[in-house]
Structures are given as structure tokens and as C-alpha cells.
Chains A and B, each alone.
Chain A
Amino acid sequence: MTLFLRRTLPLLLTFLFGVAFAAQYYIPHPVSEGALTEISVWLRIILGFAMILGIASLCQVHYAKIRTRVAGWGYSLVVYLSMLITVAVGFWAGGQETGTGLGWVYTYTLLALQGTMFSLLGFFVASAAFRAFRARSKEATVLLVAAILMMFGRVPLGEYLVPAAGPLAGWLLNVLSLAARRGILIGISLGGIATSIKIIFGIERSYLGGRE
């Protein structure tokens, strides 16, 4: 019975739903559309539970760090405190942001912190470019020249100084980069299809966990 619940039933459900909803895409019948409507609601409910699972996992990981006092455990404490304060303020504000404490937390902490974190990237890129972006080999030189051309051609000053820089950067983006991207996309898509087929037919079972 345990084996049935742990392995056979999930495989059966995966097969049935996989085949049914692959076929559904090609059947525009009201019954088929109704089934998709229903399932799309189920999926969102399942993802809601996944969010709860994620929060529980986050708490567990950081609790373990605090308990064992590993290096940087103070940050884990900050995670706990921030989460609890935000949730408490959120409940207090009734989930509304405008003119409430939740709105204040959002505007003056989350918005500011996320903005700052991302802005720092510009500074680190500049520093890294100065120290590490070197023409050590032919491949590195190609990368370096392409990067300089893109940075030059994608800003007004570059186009103002050399009018051909913009179209050249556009050509790099629309022809050379695009060809490589398209190849990668086709590869990813074929891989995705192959993996889906393997999951539907029970060949790929890693999603069942290690004990299957």
C-alpha cells in the first residue's frame, strides 16, 4: 500500500494528467475548456501551498543556522525578525498598503533595499571591468571587443560620436547574438519536450524523491 501511494499513484496521476492536458491543447471543445479552467484554479491552489512550504523551509534552514551559531547566524536572525515584523504589520494594516504601516515598510525598507542592492551592481561591474576584463586569449579578445562595441553603440554619446556605432551594435544584437540565442532556445525547447515525455511516461522519476 505504501509503495502504491509513494510510487504507483503519483506515476499514474502524472501519466493521466500529462496526456490529458497535452491533448487538451488541441481540443477546443467546451468540456475540454471547462477542464482547463478548473485545473488552472487547482494549479494556483497547489502553488499557494508551495508558498507555505517555501516559508516553512526558509524558517527551518535559518532556525538551524541560529541554533548551531554558524558563521553569519546573525543574518538569519535578521531574516526572522524582518519576516515577523512585516507579517505583523501586514495583519495590522489589514493587507492594505496606502497610508498604512505596511506601505511604509514597503516604501522605506523593501523598495529602498532592493533598489540599493541592484544599484551596487553598476559599481562592482566597473571595478571588475578594470581589473579582470583582459584580452588574454583570442576568445577573450572577441568578447572584449563585442562588449565595448555594445556599450559604445547603445548610448546616445556613442552614437553622437560615431553614428555607425548604433547600427553596428544593433547588428551584433540582431544577427550574431540572435543566431546563438536561437540555437540555445531550440536546444532548451527540445530538451524540455524530451524531459516532459520522460516524466509523463515514468522514465524520469527524480521528482518522486530519493526513496522511490
Chain B
Amino acid sequence: MRELAGKLLRLDRRAIFVLIALATLIPLLYPVGLPIRVSPEVKRVFDHIESLPAGSVFLLSLDFDPASKPELYPMAVALLNHAFRRDLRVVTMTLWVTGTGMAEKVVSGVASEYGKRRGLDYAFLGYSPGGANVIINMGQDLNAAFPADHYGERTADLPVLRGVRSLRQVNYVVSLAAGTPGVESWYVYGKEKYGFELGGGVTAVIAPGLYPFLDTGQINGLIGGLRGAAEYEILIGMKGKGMAGMDAQSATHFIIIGLILLCNLFYVLAPGTVVRSFDPSAPLRTGSAQDRTGSPQEGQR
């Protein structure tokens, strides 16, 4: 048993990679559709958009790049669907230069599904350099921050922005963020001074860091990770990529939990077994001398 445990601990990590790949692929191809509980923080974002009368100004800042697309793109789709259904005036932008093309695609794509016209029902302001300073600039004078939209149209002439001179005239802002500048920047430089209501949508990794802002009311709601996106899709009655991805996430989480438990069990059964660390070129820890040096092939993994 001890020998078997030792062998399994030294399992080629490519086997684990295959396991994770299968745990992701199979549920995506054959979804089970397990029920998802909607959390109060996601519901609050939904409720706030529901409470806005038609014609209210909703600003969606897509502050992420392609690396966070799997988590934040479904959120953007769900929020845009909801906003267009509610006939809100949708203003979109990004503070991340590498997210510009992706943001343009999602905004124009969802808008076309609802027959919304660019400039009249929605605007995509694009990217403006300056990070968090763009928020201050928008708070003081939106036309100075974005003299033209992404397509080169003068923002002062866009009907969708009629009466919107600064962030003070925006009813609700949601920042979908994968880091900084993101939700915190919108709170510190925007909401605090210009008084609009703020919600957030973030990757699962940074969501726990925003709970202090949620409980104090500094942000009114929070959509966290793919799960948050799936919850929002449930609220608006849409079957999107968020829900599709949740089965895959369930499977991978369980695989990782299983691996952690097995690892600990094997260590109990075979103490002193040497395994390779995360970095294949660095041996992890002490063990018997003969085990300390891996084969060259193992080092390549």
C-alpha cells in the first residue's frame, strides 16, 4: 500500500492535466444543469436595474482584458440584456486598453439583438488613457474625458448622452473589473464625489476583497465570478455561458478537492515520499537521497 501511495504521489502531472481537461470538457458538452442559488449581493444589482425607470442612464465599464473573458464576458452579456430590456440609456466604456475590442464586440452584439441603435439608444465610448484619472475627468466633464466615442462620433452630439454632462447625471454605474482600475477606483474617484449608485462585477479571485465595500453600502451589489454571472442569468431568465460553465466548475472543483484529499491520504500512507514542486526544475523537499534527483525526463514535465 505504501509503495502504491508513493507511486501515485509521483504521478506524472500531465495525467492531472488530462483529468482537469476532461472535467471541463464533458460537462460543457453534456450539461447537467444543477440548480443554482441566487445570492443576495447579485440580487441587489438586479433589483437596482429593475427599479430604474426607462430612459435612465446606465453606465457599464468593462474594465477587463481577454484573460478574464470566461468570467466577466457572461456578466457583461447578462447585464446588457437586462439594461436593453428595461429600455435604459446604455453608456459603455473601458479603462483597460486591451479590453477595447472585446468590449465593443459584446456591446454592439447584444444591442443588435434588441434592435438598439448606436448613438441613439446606446453608446460605446471606448478607451481613454489615464486609468482612474479618467473617472475624475468624467465626473467633472464627460465630453472632455471622451470628446469622441469609439467610432469617432462627437459625444456632445450623441442623443443617448443628451443631458449627461458628467457622472452626476448617471443613475447607475456597474464596473466589471479584473483588477485595477476597477470597482475600487470607481468608488474612490467616482461615487464618493459624484454621488451615483455603484455596483460591481468581478472575477472570483478578487471578489472576497470587495465584501467590505458591499457590507458598508459603498457598492450596492456584487457579482462574483462565473457563479455570479450564472446567478444573474437565472434572474433575467437567460441561458448563457455563465450557467453552461457552472457544471464544468462544479466538476473541476470536485476534482481538485479529491486531489487534495488523496494527496494528504497518500502522505499519511507513504511518509517521506519526494514529489516535484510546481516548478519542475526545483525539487520540492527533502527525502531519501536516491529520490532527490529526478530523471531528466521528469524534469522536463
Contact = CB atoms under 8 A, between A and B. Distances in A.
B87 interface: no
Contacts of B20: 122-123, 126
A1 B113 CA distance: 65
B120 interface: no
A44 B17 CA distance: 44
B212 A182 contact: yes
Interface in B115-146: 128-131, 133-134, 136-137, 140-141, 144-145
Contacts of A151: 253, 256-257
A193 interface: no
Contact of B263 (A36, A44, A133): A133
Nearest to B216: A182
Nearest to B8: A130
B254 interface: yes
Nearest to B24: A122
Interface residues of B, number: 69
Interface residues of A, number: 59
B162 interface: no
A118 to B, nearest CB: 4
A131 B276 contact: yes
Interface stretch (A9-17, A64-72, A105-113): A105-113
B263 A130 contact: yes
Given A103-B101, A126-B19, A131-B276, A147 B68 contact: no
Given A133-B260, A181-B209, A43 B104 contact: no
A178 interface: yes
B81 interface: no
Interface of B: 9, 11, 13, 16-17, 19-21, 24, 34-37, 39, 65-70, 98, 100-102, 104, 128-131, 133-134, 136-137, 140-141, 144-145, 193, 204, 208-209, 211-212, 215, 225, 227, 246-247, 249-257, 259-264, 267, 275-278, 284
18 contacts: A44-B128, A44-B134, A51-B129, A97-B100, A97-B101, A103-B101, A107-B101, A114-B69, A114-B98, A115-B70, A128-B278, A132-B278, A144-B260, A148-B261, A155-B246, A157-B251, A157-B253, A166-B37
Interface of A: 25, 33, 36-37, 40-41, 43-44, 47-48, 51, 97-98, 103, 106-107, 110-112, 114-115, 117-119, 122-135, 144, 147-148, 151-152, 154-160, 166, 170, 173-174, 177-178, 181-182, 185
Given A115-B69, A115-B70, A177-B211, 17 more contacts: A40-B136, A40-B137, A41-B144, A44-B129, A44-B145, A115-B67, A119-B70, A126-B256, A129-B260, A130-B16, A148-B261, A154-B227, A155-B254, A156-B34, A160-B34, A160-B35, A166-B37
